[in-house]
Amino acid sequence: MPTSELKKRIRNIPDFPKKGIQFKDITTLLSDPGSFQQAIDLMAHRHFGKGIEAVVGIEARGFVMGAAMAYKLGTGVLLVRKAGKLPYKTVAASYDLEYGKDRLEIHEDAIRPGMKVIVADDVLATGGTVSAVIGLLNKLGADVVECCFLAELTGLKGRQLLKRQKVFSLLQFEE
**Which positions are annotated as active-site residues?**
61, 98
What pTM was estimated for this model as a whole? 0.95
Kindly give the confidence (pLDDT) of every residue in the chain, 175 residues in length, as a single tens digit, with 9 standing for 90 and above: 789 999 999 999 999 988 988 899 999 999 999 999 999 999 999 999 999 999 999 999 999 999 999 999 999 999 999 999 999 999 999 988 767 789 999 999 999 999 999 999 999 999 999 999 999 999 999 999 999 999 999 999 999 999 999 999 999 998 7
Q: What are the two backbone dihedrals, phi and then psi, of residue 59, each rounded to the nearest 5 degrees?
A: -55, 135
At 98 the pLDDT is: 66
Cα separation, 29 vs 90, in Å, equals 33
At 95 the pLDDT is: 87
Q: Which domains does the chain have, with CATH numbers?
A: 50-173 (3.40.50.2020)
| Cβ-based burial of 168 (10 A; exposed 0-12, middle 13-18, buried ≥19) | middle
